[in-house]
Chain A
Amino acid sequence: MAQGWGLGALINLDHYGHYIQWHVIQISVANLIVIILMVATFVAALFAPFPGRRNRKGTK
């Protein structure tokens, strides 16, 4: 099936994808990883401490 350039990649993604099915939802593993990463990034951005606190405390 692979007519693409998977040879150029370190990890060859030129195989038929894996899909997860749950009722009417069908999602590829790749897309699921992307979505999970997006949610994780959003949550991390909310909670991760932001540098420069001393700066903000000092000025008025």
Chain B
Amino acid sequence: MSNAQIERQWTSRLRHRVVDKLPPERLLPDTQPAYVASWIYVFGVTTMAALGIVILTGIILALDGPQWWHSSSLGHFVNSMHLWSVEIFFFAMVVHLWGKFSMAAWRGGRSMTWVTGGVTFLASILAGFTGYVSQTNFDSQWISTQAKDGINSTGGGAFFNVLNLGQMLMWHIVLLPLAAVVLTGLHVIMVRVKGVVPPFDDNAEVSA
């Protein structure tokens, strides 16, 4: 097989595209621009760390089924960790959002980074909601019977039945974690590809 033939292969073409766009030293950099010098920059990674703990505690909860935490003190503790890591997740995500907005971080071809971040926010809210209605207690009953009215009003209730525990639980533990992880992955890859947004050029504005 000639070199030209090898290079025309789908595998070769995909690998070249990926490595050109995101070489290893950009995926896992060992330097960063000097302007990345503020505590506001830690909230993205904090959000991701919290997501990791949410998923880890969710995995442990899955081991013994959705009723486990009602009758086991260990189960209840893991449930508590799952709840508080979610609170930290949203806390960090919103502070991260405020920071990125303040920096107008979509500048310089980074609009899709902002868009994926926003969609991840939405997916997270949905994931949290399906979690609340999967608790199999009074909270689930109340939240689901209230939420049904909003969702029904859009016609979505015909397909997304919040009173159907089986459906809600499967969205919560299969579909939405997948969505959250994929969206977060895309978001982070975009940050690595484009780099952290540079500061506004205030001197240019002043001299203009």
Contacts and interface: CB of A to CB of B under 8 A. Distances in A.
| A–B in direct contact per CB < 8 Å | yes
Given A8-B73, A8-B77, A56-B34, A50 B39 contact: yes
A45 B40 contact: yes
A45 B96 CA distance: 10
A21 B62 CA distance: 40
B149 interface: no
Interface stretch (B4-12, B87-95, B191-199): B87-95
Contact of B39 (A8, A48, A56, A59): A48
Nearest to B33: A56
Given A5-B76, A8-B73, A34-B87, A41 B38 contact: no
B39 A45 contact: yes
Chain B at the A interface: SS class: helix
Interface string B36-73: 01111011000000000000000000000000000001
Interface residues of B, number: 17
B94 A46 contact: no
Chain A at the B interface: SS class: helix
Nearest to B139: A4
Contact of B38 (A37, A38, A46): A46
B87 A42 contact: no
Contacts of B43: 45
B99 interface: yes
Q: Which of A5, A52, A59 has the most CB of B within 10 A?
A: A5
Interface string A25-45: 000000000100110011011
A50 B76 contact: no
B160 interface: no
B37 A8 contact: no
A56 B37 contact: yes
Given A46-B39, A46-B40, A59-B34, 17 more contacts: A8-B73, A8-B77, A8-B80, A37-B91, A38-B94, A41-B91, A41-B95, A42-B98, A42-B99, A45-B38, A45-B39, A45-B43, A48-B39, A50-B37, A53-B37, A56-B34, A56-B37
Interface of A: 5, 8, 34, 37-38, 41-42, 44-46, 48, 50, 52-53, 56, 59
25 contacts: A5-B73, A8-B73, A8-B76, A8-B77, A34-B87, A37-B91, A38-B91, A38-B94, A38-B95, A41-B91, A42-B40, A42-B98, A42-B99, A45-B38, A45-B39, A45-B40, A45-B43, A45-B99, A46-B39, A48-B39, A50-B37, A50-B38, A50-B39, A56-B37, A59-B34
